[in-house]
Structure 1
Amino acid sequence: MSTAAQVFEGGFADAVLGSQQIFRGLMDAMAKPGLIVAVPELVAAPAPLTPVMASIAVTLFDHDATVWCDKSIASSEEAIGWLKFHTGLELVSEPAGAQFALVREIAAMPSFEIFARGTAEYPDRSTTIIMQVEGFDGSTTLTLNGPGIKDTQQFAPSRLPRMFIDQWAANRAAFPRGVDLVFAGRDTLAALPRTTRVATKED
């Protein structure tokens, strides 16, 4: 497929229905941290974007959205062209200026404190970080509790940022400021809002 075809094709077949399905999944995931939500494969975006990450992007981004992409995504002319064509987003070079971030190389991503974390008056002026993972059967099991969780919830994404427990503790301590996380799997998604308390299973 030509570069032009990759850029212009592969969006939602039905823009309204597709975005509604993904938005409902995101809202369920945010309301119930650690819940694994199945989502349909609704778009076909150029690599390294996966269908789920791209579907989330098309649902959440518009021409007012400021978005930071990690190097692996930003260096793909096809991926960036696809995102711009289907969402109209504004790319930013600094994580602190982003409403959203797309991260493929989780091990190399900046620490949470580098992203926008809002202010006490406007905590919503923060970054939602969308991270690409293989799935939710990783080697490190997290124990979650807090709003939206009855007792505790076990959560094991395939990849986590470096020093995740320490980073998340600092993020939660800044509440109401802080980042929120969305995990984009192969055909599922999950989320960790800043209100969630996280520990390793052994803690």
Structure 2
Amino acid sequence: MAADLALGFADPVADSQSVFRAVMDALARPGTIRPLATALRPPAPLTSELAAVALALADHEAALWLDAPLAAVPDVAEFLRFHTGATIVAEPERAAFALIADTAALPPFERFAIGTDAFPDRSTTLVCAVAALTGGPPIALAGPGIKGRAALAVRPLPADFAAQARANHRLFPRGVDLLFVAAGGVAALPRSTSLPEV
């Protein structure tokens, strides 16, 4: 593993800025897919897209939580600590970012930090690896950054995902934000987005 630790961003500044812009664009336009190109080769099951978002957003002040598949591989935590300086925490409510390799088994949102009315930014962003950003059952979206209606069709998602997302939106300005990554792209569901019943 030691030889592989250096395999982070080829150009740390430019690559990090590119990933950051893709994430910000996705959050600003919920449900749209933004290009996310990365040549990272992190230890499995950490995908290159999960790794890219972590390297772009996490630092020594932004703790990371890993789901069970990621936490089971010590090389994953070692890679992330080496490239971000972030602390890996066992308690999801302490994390600024939660990395989810098995989105079908996504933990309940209430396990994560939702911030407070005074400090809504003290919440967890869930970064979820999915098989695809299209082709799943479409979930209607409305709210800021959406002209009319948009749809989220990532797959897979837990059966109760829409109900959890609606409950999360009702907490606004508190709540978690979600990023979904798959090969070549990122999509987002911020807490400000509602899921109208259709």
Do both proteins adopt the same fold according to a TM-score greater than 0.5, normalized to the shorter chain?
Answer: yes
* Structure 1 residue 161: Cα displacement: 2.9
AA at the equivalent of 2:57: L
2:51 corresponds to 1:39? no
Q: Is the 8 A contact 1:61 1:87 kept in 2?
A: yes
AA at the equivalent of 1:4: A
Q: Is the 8 A contact 1:135 1:188 kept in 2?
A: no
Q: Is the 8 A contact 2:139 2:162 kept in 1?
A: no
Aligned 1:192-203 pairs, distance under 5 A: 192-199=189-196, 203=198
Q: Is the 8 A contact 2:133 2:180 kept in 1?
A: no
> Distance between the aligned counterparts of 2:69 and 2:156, measured in 1?
16
* Structure 1 residue 9: Cα displacement: 2.6
* Structure 1 residue 138: Cα displacement: 3.0
* Structure 1 residue 97: Cα displacement: 1.0
> Distance between the aligned counterparts of 1:160 and 1:32, measured in 2?
20
Equivalence for 1:101? 98
Q: Is the 8 A contact 2:29 2:145 kept in 1?
A: yes
Q: Is the 8 A contact 1:165 1:199 kept in 2?
A: no
AA at the equivalent of 1:5: A
> Distance between the aligned counterparts of 1:196 and 1:127, measured in 2?
16
In structure 2, the CA distance between the partners of 1:35 and 1:139, relative to structure 1 (3 Å rule), is closer
What is the aligned counterpart of 1:30 among 9, 15, 27?
27
Gaps of 5+ in 1: none
The one-character-per-residue Cα deviations of 1:15-40 (angstroms, maximum 9, x if unpaired) are: 10000100110110010001101111
> Distance between the aligned counterparts of 2:159 and 2:77, measured in 1?
26
What is the aligned counterpart of 1:10 among 3, 7, 10?
7
> Distance between the aligned counterparts of 1:16 and 1:184, measured in 2?
21
* Structure 1 residue 91: Cα displacement: 1.0
- 4+ runs of 1 displaced by more than 6 Å? none
Equivalence for 1:164? 161
Q: TM-score, normalised by structure 2?
A: 0.96
Q: Is the 8 A contact 1:38 1:189 kept in 2?
A: yes
Helix, strand or coil at the partner of 1:197? coil
2:108 corresponds to 1:111? yes
> Distance between the aligned counterparts of 1:52 and 1:18, measured in 2?
12
> Distance between the aligned counterparts of 2:189 and 2:97, measured in 1?
14
The one-character-per-residue Cα deviations of 1:48-71 (angstroms, maximum 9, x if unpaired) are: 111111110000011111111001
> Distance between the aligned counterparts of 1:139 and 1:147, measured in 2?
23
% same residue: 44
Equivalence for 1:131? 128
* Structure 1 residue 184: Cα displacement: 1.0
Helix, strand or coil at the partner of 2:141? strand
2:74 corresponds to 1:77? yes
* Structure 1 residue 128: Cα displacement: 0.2
